[in-house]
Amino acid sequence: MSQAAKPIPRITPELAPFFEAAKQERLVVQKCDSCGALRFPPNPQCSRCLSTASSWTRVSGRGEVYSFNVMHQVYHPGFAAEIPYAVVIVKLEEGAKLLSNLVGIKPSEIKCGMAVEVVFERISDEVTLPKFRPVG
């Protein structure tokens, strides 16, 4: 029996600009055109000022581990070979938070506050996933 494939994110119209940028190895988040607040995932309305005007802006890709969880259970057969793996919330230096994975480090060595930077993992012609790795 062949190994199960991982699920691939569905590219909704709301997320299309994010994935289009990721294919070009650029990390972007939504920015409120009225107050400048950054947000991710995208939302039609700003939670700070309620404006519906927004655009996408490139961010540095640098940040820190805000929180993380190490998966020890197989919730999807596509991830069975990677157990244990970490799911992290990265707080970008610009302030927005992203849910992602950390690569290049054992889950037992991950600490909140550690500096990370984005890397891009090409999954298919359509999907490239931003992931993060430790800095320094």
Give the residues lining the site for Zn ion (CB under 5 A).
Answer: 32, 34-35, 37, 46, 48-49, 51
16 vs 35, beta carbon nearer Zn ion: 35
Minimal distance, residue 57 CB to Zn ion, in Å: 13
Q: Is 24 exposed, middle or buried (0-12, 13-18, 19+ CB in 10 A)?
A: exposed
> Of 43 and 67, which CB lies nearer to Zn ion in the complex structure?
43
Q: Report in angstroms how near the CB of residue 129 gets to Zn ion at its nearest.
A: 28
| 99 and 40 Cβ atoms separated by less than 8 Å | no
CB 58 within 8 A of CB 26: yes
Q: Which is nearer to Zn ion, 35 or 135 (CB)?
A: 35
